[in-house]
Amino acid sequence: MNNQSIKFLSVSIRNFRGVPRELVIPLDAPLTVIHAANGTGKSTICYALEWLLTGKVEDLITTDFACQWGEGVTSVSATCLIGEVPHKLTREGGSLWISKDGTKKKKIKDDDFLNLLTPASISGRTPHAVRKAKRGWLRNSRWLYSNSLSLLIDNSKAEERQQIFADILGLGHLTSTLRELRDYRKELPNTKGLQDSVSRLSTEILELETKLAESSPWKERAAGHLSKIFEAFPQPPATGSQGEDFKLAQLQVRLFEQRVQHDLGIFRFLSGQWAQYHAGQSQLSVLRQTLAGLLEASQALSNEHSKLSADLSAAQVKAADGERSVTWAKERLDVLSQWEATTSDPSIGEYFSSGGVSQDNLQQRFVELSWFADKQEAWLQSVNYLIQNSVTVVDLARQKQDLLSNVVQPPADIVNIARLADEAKGVRVKAESDFNAFSSVLDKLRAMGREIAHSHNVGHCPLCNYDWQSSDKLRLQIAGEQLLMPELSDAARRLSEARQNEQENLAKLALANNQKASYEAYSARLRTVDGELAAIANKTKYLENMAVADFSNFDVGNLPYLQGRIKAAISLRQIFEKLAEVEGVFQIVPAEGVGQRISRARVNLIGYRDYYQAQANQANPEKQRLTHLVQGIMENIQAKSREIDGVNSNIAATSQTVGRFDTHWKEVVGEEPVVADSYNSALAKVEAERAQVDTFKTMVAECEAVVSIDSDSGRLTKLKLKKEELSKKLEAGKNYIAEADRTIDSYALHVKKLTTSSLAPLLSPAAELFSRMHANEVYKGLSVSEGDEALKWTVFAEGHEFALDAEEKFSQGQRQDLALSLYLARARNTGGSFFLDEPIAHLDDLNRVAMLDIFRLVATSMPNMNLILTTASDALARHMAQKFSSITDRHLLSTIQLEGNPRTGVTVSVTKNVPA
């Protein structure tokens, strides 16, 4: 079922434009006034309901309606009556949900929902066009925004004003379609240009036909000229077509002319360079002789440089070999010379006490010597670290020994002690409770005084402050008097015993806790010391290398001894490595004793060093002498090269001038010698060709006028074809325009008839409303008449028999009255909820009061519709409340007051015309 009315009862808005959190607005009154300052959210409520129904807000470009300071998802929900049946609508994001009469909500498509609320006559060619038309109809039939009202009072916006009145009547989609048809008609191409083109072509065709008739006698002469040209230039051959042959002949003559002009330019160049050419020829001969002498001298210097360079290279090799060999021998002698210092170290002296010890024997006895090099270096770093931190290691070892010697034991049975303390506390609490049950306040004071007297050594009574001189007297006096009854005395005794027992157990618990704390501190300190010693052991590998379990027997005095041993082991390893290398180089058979091996190796190294030192001493002076000679010859070679480069530059410059002359000469004269007779003969030939060029150009000029006859014939044919094509287009364009005009006239007539039929049931109620709201009572009724393109509003006034043109006679406020009258009349016929944004902003005070009466009339006499008004005027809200103040038996008016802003939140307060 289509075109059902919708009446809103309440709306809930969350995180939508100016509403950051949830805002609930009741809309169930016949008249609801939403009163708030600008920027507080009045229009937001209208926009939210428009978005709920249509999925869009026409006045807003954006599709993201979330509030900048909002929380949660953007959603709008409303309870409403659709066709008098309760419904609940909810839109969240792009989805719309509907619940009918309390049933489970279900998702509904926007197109289906729009079909429910709009007439079936609202349609379009595509689904998108249908959706747009239905949204526009629904929006324009239930919302009258302030921007539409402002257009209604603007005389320069006649077309927009007509559209707004059409929207109020529910015919906005029809007028927009009519406007689109007229825009389409304006966009159709104008046929005037085609008509001008056809006329211009007709004139050109007539001129060409006249010209062709006059030019036919000159064809035979043009053919003769072309035949002579093709005899002179047989390639390419003639085609037989006069037009094509003319183009070929014209091209050949142009090329011939260009060649002759080119040759004449070359002769001018040869004439200008004649003397310079012959001078250059003589200069080239002299320069080539000079270059040959320089090249010969340079070659001799190069040969001498090569010989001396070879000698210098040999001397450099001998000197380098000598220096390198001397350095090699010195490095190994330096290492082997450490033998005496190393073996004399006290830390390893025992290994050499027996005389000639072998390397194998030494490695078996000297443990550190058998280690790999990386382990030796690591152990040396560890020993150095231990020496630097010996005080710390000794102190940590001593602390651990002290801790192990003075063990702190944990408390025994601390759980049982804590349990006994809790039990004693419970007994004391029970004793206090028993005592309190038997005693009065005075008894409690006496018992307290008795307890204080027995626990303090003073003579003052704690109750009466009498001084008994001594505590014993006070206690005797208290004991001598029967102050308490037997039951109370027994309870006081049990309380005293319970308190004493509790104190004893608390003292035991405190002692156990202290013992526990001491044990925990002892354990923590022991773990700390063990951790630090473990870190040192891990860093130095001391325990592993020394094969001990801990640092308890750590001896600082032993560290220098360990340091000496590892340094000696490293030194001996280096000595043995170099010794093996030397014995391999000199092929020495190793002896049994290490000392003998080192002595023999030294002797060989010293001889080797001395031999190569002598070789270096002999080669270095020769190297220096040859270096100076080679450098001198190289400087001479470079000087000769610079001279050769200068001569080559002169030869190149002169050769370029002479070569350019020779090239041009060969181009126009050929292989003839460069003499004056050859020059004059060739020049005379070119001058004769230039005269021939002039003759050919004259022939081509005479042919051009005649040959254009053929091109004009072809052009005439093309012009006739083009005229025929444009004539067809002109005829089609006229048909399109005529069809568009007929369609527009037909659709405009349809719109007028539909508008007239739509206005018929509205004129009477609209006229009644207009006469009520028009305070000066000049105009008494409304009517409508047909104009040239649209309906014209007319009014009946006092003293006039005929209707007057409303557009000419109405003031701005009267136009607004007219718009509101039509809107309210149509709303009464349609039913449901309707929204008016600032409806009386442009009315004077008298008409504003009349308009308030209209709103009161609507609320009291039109039960099938609800009006929702927005305003920022405090006076309007106050006057509206006064209008309904006398009605207390029916809920007709709700005034919604909005306060706040989008950042801090918007709050709502509701005032009704009936008591709460």
* SS3 (DSSP) at 810: coil
757 confidence band (pLDDT: 50, 70, 90)? low
Report whether pLDDT(158) > 70: no
Report whether pLDDT(850) > 70: yes
User: Under a CB-based contact definition with an 8 Å cutoff, are residues 148 and 164 in contact?
Assistant: yes
pLDDT of residue 153: 44
Q: How far apart are the first and last CA of the chain?
A: 39
Report the alpha-carbon distance of residue 375 to residue 110 in Å, rounded: 85
pLDDT in tens, 179-198: 677 777 677 777 777 777 87
Report the alpha-carbon distance of residue 660 to residue 578 in Å, rounded: 78
Dihedral sign of CA atoms 711, 712, 717, 720 in order: positive
pLDDT in tens, 447-465: 666 666 666 666 666 656 6
Pair of tokens at residue 520: 């925990």
Choose among 544, 545, 528: nearest CA to 396.
528
Between the alpha carbon of residue 757 and those of residues 159, 301, 784, 829, the distances in Å are 21, 122, 11, 14
Choose among 356, 334, 319: nearest CA to 606.
334
pLDDT in tens, 227-243: 777 777 777 776 666 66
For residues 457-482, average pLDDT:
64
- Strand 779-786: give its sheet, edge to edge: 779-786, 791-797, 804-805
* SS3 (DSSP) at 150: helix
User: Under a CB-based contact definition with an 8 Å cutoff, are residues 890 and 858 in contact?
Assistant: no
Other Cβ atoms within 10 Å of 382 Cβ, number: 19
Report whether pLDDT(333) > 80: yes
User: Under a CB-based contact definition with an 8 Å cutoff, are residues 322 and 613 in contact?
Assistant: yes
pLDDT of residue 901: 87
Report the alpha-carbon distance of residue 638 to residue 640 in Å, rounded: 5
Between the alpha carbon of residue 809 and those of residues 431, 763, 805, 815, 880, the distances in Å are 106, 19, 6, 10, 30
User: Under a CB-based contact definition with an 8 Å cutoff, are residues 163 and 175 in contact?
Assistant: yes
Q: Torsion over CA of 557, 561, 566 and 571, rounded to 10 degrees?
A: 140
Please state the φ and ψ torsions of residue 371, each to the nearest 5 degrees. Answer: -70, 160
For residues 571-583, average pLDDT:
87
Residue 792, amino acid: K
Report the alpha-carbon distance of residue 783 to residue 794 in Å, rounded: 5
Report whether pLDDT(709) > 60: no
Pair of tokens at residue 512: 């156990």
pLDDT of residue 894: 92
778 confidence band (pLDDT: 50, 70, 90)? low
Choose among 335, 279, 382, 254: nearest CA to 654.
279
Report the alpha-carbon distance of residue 402 to residue 720 in Å, rounded: 129
Choose among 812, 839, 828: nearest CA to 861.
828
* SS3 (DSSP) at 669: coil
* SS3 (DSSP) at 860: helix
- Strand 6-14: give its sheet, edge to edge: 23-26, 6-14, 75-82, 85-92, 95-100, 106-108
Report whether pLDDT(201) > 70: yes
Report whether pLDDT(466) > 50: yes
Report whether pLDDT(63) > 50: yes
pLDDT in tens, 20-30: 889 999 999 99
* SS3 (DSSP) at 91: strand
pLDDT in tens, 650-705: 888 888 888 888 888 888 888 888 888 888 888 888 888 788 888 878 777 777 66
pLDDT of residue 285: 82
Percentage, residues of the chain above pLDDT 90: 10
User: Under a CB-based contact definition with an 8 Å cutoff, are residues 499 and 401 in contact?
Assistant: no
pLDDT in tens, 784-817: 665 544 556 677 776 666 667 666 677 767 777 7
Pair of tokens at residue 231: 């005899």
User: Under a CB-based contact definition with an 8 Å cutoff, are residues 377 and 570 in contact?
Assistant: yes
For residues 193-213, average pLDDT:
74
Burial track 118-132 (b if 16+ CB lie within 10 A, e otherwise): beeebeeeeeeebbb
pLDDT in tens, 781-793: 666 665 544 556 6
What is the residue whose two structure tokens read 């409508």?
784
Pairwise pLDDT comparison (726 vs 299), residue with the higher score: 299
| CA–CA–CA angle 480, 483, 487 (5° rounding) | 115
Choose among 517, 527, 522, 524: nearest CA to 411.
517
pLDDT in tens, 401-449: 888 888 888 888 888 888 888 988 998 888 888 877 766 555 555 666 6
Count Cβ atoms within 10 A of the Cβ of residue 728 and give its class: 0-12 exposed, 13-18 middle, 19 or more buried. exposed
Pairwise pLDDT comparison (748 vs 74), residue with the higher score: 74
pLDDT of residue 173: 60
Report the alpha-carbon distance of residue 454 to residue 448 in Å, rounded: 10
Phi-psi region of 84 (alpha: psi -120 to 50; beta: other; left: phi over 0): left
User: Under a CB-based contact definition with an 8 Å cutoff, are residues 42 and 25 in contact?
Assistant: no
pLDDT in tens, 517-545: 988 898 898 899 889 888 988 888 888 88
Between the alpha carbon of residue 370 and those of residues 382, 595, 718, 783, the distances in Å are 18, 19, 113, 127
Q: Torsion over CA of 803, 805, 809 and 813, rounded to 10 degrees?
A: 100
120 confidence band (pLDDT: 50, 70, 90)? confident
Q: Which helix (H) or strand (E) holds 312?
A: helix 274-336
Other Cβ atoms within 10 Å of 851 Cβ, number: 23
The predicted model scores a pTM of: 0.42
Percentage, residues of the chain above pLDDT 70: 80
